[in-house]
Amino acid sequence: MRGRKVVVAMSGGVDSSVAAALLQERGYEVIGVTMNLFSLPRELCRSEELRSCCGWKAVEDSHRVAVQLGIPHYVADFRKEFEGAVIADFIREYGRGRTPNPCIRCNERIKFKILLERARRLGAGRLATGHHARVKGDAESGRFLLKKGKDRAKDQSYFLYRLTQAQLSRVLMPVGDFTKAEVRKMARRWGLPVAEKEESQETCFAPLGDYPDFLAGRLPEALRPGPIEDTAGHLLGKHKGIGRYTIGQRRGLGIAASRPLYVVAIDARRNTIVVGPEKDLSRRSLEASSLRLIAVKKIDGPLTLKAKIRYKHREAKALVRPLSPRRVVVEFDRPQRAITPGQSVVFYRRDIVLGGGIIDKSLD
């Protein structure tokens, strides 16, 4: 029966493995698929110390789980699509002096688009992931809602705000109803070989967190030296390329000063890093574009919500005002530290994701 066949995106981690086991226990016909997104050396991807969902290790661990569960397991080669949709955007944004979030882009363009279509071709009506988030139908609005996961410390709804209603209607996130401790307990109960595996934390195409090394081979101009100035335009030193810096950064500036200085702006047009004291990082408002809404169809007027300006940021009370169907101004009750162009601002109403957009600039 088509409605009971589900593809599970298996990353080789405990969450996606438990998602597969849970759905099998609930009577679904489960198919495991591991995405091959980027080519890294086999010896690197097989490292037990590498906390990334990349290549060989992910495939091996996913296959071991699939064998134990007795489900088919396939590898989907999406390297070309990932290069065009995620890496190209990542490079373009860094070249503009912005700091993108490639995981959000990957979810939007690869996992919940191309992989969802692959699931359809495999005869599956649904795609399931190991995200700590929940998808619930809302009878009153007739919409599918994206909600925070039960484990607030592991909640991943921030990364999923760009999903459409059509995508959410076909998505299952079974581990979102459990805490991480409960997920590991279930993995142990089922004897899954990844029960104690550490979480993936690095970006798959730069698993050691070395973005400058990655940029060096693809956008060398982002590593071109240039001036470091203070907010008054005084020359303080020389930077090693705008691709090495992000808003709020203190380390690696290489300049002597009587007080701590932080990156407060990146001017890609002039290839200039602007620094200032910590107080200069605080802003009360921002402008965001590429608005994507989930819980509502549109924002007609000012809305008071909670907003996050990055994944690890604490939600803050804010007024969201529409400028156009795709652009908003967000005004916080209290100044926020290091609002960063290229990152996403995501809006919440209690545990429901209203939507979000990509930060273009801080204001005031």
State the average pLDDT for the chain: 92
DSSP line for 231-251: TT--EEEEES-GGG--TT--T
Of residues 50 and 70, more confidence is placed in 70
For residues 318-329, give the mean pLDDT: 97
- pLDDT at residue 316 is higher than 70: yes
Residue 294, CA distances (Å) to 160, 168, 172, 288, 352 in order: 10, 9, 16, 16, 9
For residues 274-285, give the mean pLDDT: 97
pLDDT band at residue 201 using 50, 70 and 90 as cut-offs: low
What letters, b where the CB count within 10 A reaches 16 and e where it falls short, cover 49-65? Answer: ebebbbbbbbbebbbbb
- pLDDT at residue 107 is higher than 90: yes
pLDDT of residue 40: 60
- pLDDT at residue 210 is higher than 80: no
Class of the CATH domain delimited by 2-189? alpha beta
pLDDT of residue 142: 95
Q: Where are the domains of the chain?
A: 2-189, 224-276, 282-363
Distance CA 172, CA 176 (A): 9
Distance CA 121, CA 17 (A): 22
pLDDT of residue 136: 97
Give pLDDT tens digits for 240-257. 999 999 999 999 899 988
- pLDDT at residue 52 is higher than 90: no
pLDDT of residue 51: 46
For 214, list phi and psi in degrees, rounded to 5.
Answer: -65, -45
Q: What is the DSSP code (8-state) at residue 38?
A: -
- Considering the domain delimited by 282-363, tell me its CATH architecture: Beta Barrel (2.40)
- pLDDT at residue 88 is higher than 70: yes
- pLDDT at residue 234 is higher than 80: yes
Cα angle at 138 between 134 and 142, to 5 degrees?
130
Of residues 335 and 41, more confidence is placed in 335
- 157: which 2 tokens? 């709804």
pLDDT of residue 199: 82
pLDDT of residue 3: 57
pLDDT of residue 41: 53
Q: What is the DSSP code (8-state) at residue 203?
A: B
For residues 322-339, give the mean pLDDT: 97
pLDDT of residue 46: 46
Distance CA 327, CA 330 (A): 10
Residues serving a catalytic function are 106, 204
What percent of the chain has pLDDT above 90? 85
Longest C-alpha distance within the chain, in Å?
Answer: 70
- pLDDT at residue 9 is higher than 90: yes
The CATH homologous superfamily for domain 224-276 is Adenine nucleotide alpha hydrolases-like domains (2.30.30.280)
For residues 329-334, give the mean pLDDT: 98
Strands laid side by side in the 262-267 sheet? 235-239, 226-230, 272-276, 262-267
